[in-house]
């Protein structure tokens, strides 16, 4: 049990900026097994966003509440996944071959593809969540936020399990995630990722999951075709795209 707690807190430290107990330490083995708790971290981050959204909605319009809820999740993660999405937009948008794509992704500067991509995906996310409040109501909006964050991180975990990590430099901050996951680790991640979906209406959540599966398959195919596998930035891009796909799937089911 203590070892599993260490793996969880290692995931919490790696994927968020939330505090971690000092006794956890910084073992490499912990990071190598942290991916199994990626969706559970999504539940925690989604709960933060849902809590802020519901609290602000008591006094301000839902559009403002959703925006501040999104800001809370970004603060909790340090824009970890949004940064990966931005780097992926620049890399795949500006690179012609694998070497160019990987080189551009490593560049910390924000290009036009990244600026446009992040702006558009955040606007789409905000619009979808605001519409979900109108379509499903406030309680389901909070549940959708938690489920969306969990399922989208499960999508990234699936990529870790099935695809090859393509960077070979030791400077990559995501290299600890490149370790091959065991089937039981993926099973635990799947359990955590899908658990919040049990609280949503069946028809709506099935449509949302179908959208996430399609998004994940398309992302995997694109990553393999362009660079032969995934990088940490690709995981961030897959998480952001799958989260939006989940919300859009919910919207499609009742519009």
pLDDT at residue 175, rounded to an integer: 59
Query: Each residue of 157-168: pLDDT tens digit?
Result: 999 999 999 987
Digit-coded pLDDT (tens) for 41-72: 999 999 999 999 999 999 999 999 999 999 99
pLDDT at 173: 56
pLDDT band at 180 (very low <50, low <70, confident <90, very high): confident
Looking at residue 135, its pLDDT comes to 63
Number of domains in the chain: 1
Partner residues linked to 165 by β-bridges: 230
Q: Sign of torsion, CA 23 9 80 65?
A: negative
State the residue for tokens 């991640």: 189
> What is the structure's pLDDT at 169?
64
The reported pLDDT for the residue numbered 104 is 95
- Domain of 101 in residue numbering reads as 2-254
What's the pLDDT at 3? Answer: 79
Calculate helix-pair angle for 112-136, 62-77, nearest 10 degrees: 130
Tell me the two tokens of residue 184. Answer: 């039981």
**Above 60 in pLDDT, residue 214?**
yes
Residues in CB range of 87: below 8 A, 6 or more apart? 104, 105, 106, 107, 114, 233, 236
Yes or no: say if 16 and 77 are a contact pair by the CB < 8 Å rule.
Answer: yes
Bigger pLDDT: 241 or 171?
A: 241
pLDDT (tens digit, 9 = 90+) per residue, 97-131? 999 999 999 988 899 999 999 999 999 999 999 99
Angle, CA of 6, 161 and 152, to the nearest 5°: 80
Q: Is the pLDDT at 137 greater than 70, yes or no?
A: no
Task: Please provide the average confidence, as pLDDT, over all residues in the chain.
Answer: 91
Better pLDDT: 177 or 84: 84
The model carries a pTM of: 0.94
Alpha helix ranges (H) inside 137-227: 138-162, 183-194, 202-227
């Amino acid at each position: 049990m203590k070892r599993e707690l260490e793996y969880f807190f290692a995931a919490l430290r790696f994927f968020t900026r939330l505090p971690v107990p000092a006794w956890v330490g910084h073992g490499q083995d912990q990071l190598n097994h942290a991916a199994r708790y990626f969706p559970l971290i999504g539940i925690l981050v989604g709960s933060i966003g849902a809590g802020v959204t519901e609290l602000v909605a008591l006094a301000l319009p839902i559009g403002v509440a959703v925006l501040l809820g999104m800001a809370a999740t970004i603060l909790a993660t340090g824009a970890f996944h949004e940064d990966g999405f931005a780097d992926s937009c620049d890399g795949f948008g500006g690179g012609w071959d694998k070497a160019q794509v990987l080189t551009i992704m490593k560049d910390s500067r924000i290009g036009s593809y990244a600026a446009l991509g992040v702006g558009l995906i955040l606007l789409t996310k905000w619009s979808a969540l605001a519409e979900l409040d109108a379509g499903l109501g406030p309680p389901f909006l909070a549940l959708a936020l938690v489920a969306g964050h969990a399922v989208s991180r499960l999508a990234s975990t699936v990529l870790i399990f099935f695809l090859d990590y393509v960077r070979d430099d030791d400077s990559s901050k995501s290299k600890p995630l490149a370790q091959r996951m065991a089937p039981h680790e993926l099973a635990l991640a799947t359990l955590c990722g899908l658990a919040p979906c049990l609280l949503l209406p069946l028809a709506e959540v099935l449509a949302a999951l179908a959208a996430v599966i399609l998004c994940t398959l398309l992302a995997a195919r694109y990553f393999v075709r362009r660079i032969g596998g995934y990088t940490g930035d690709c995981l961030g891009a897959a998480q952001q795209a799958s989260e939006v796909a989940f919300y859009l799937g919910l919207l499609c089911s009742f519009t």
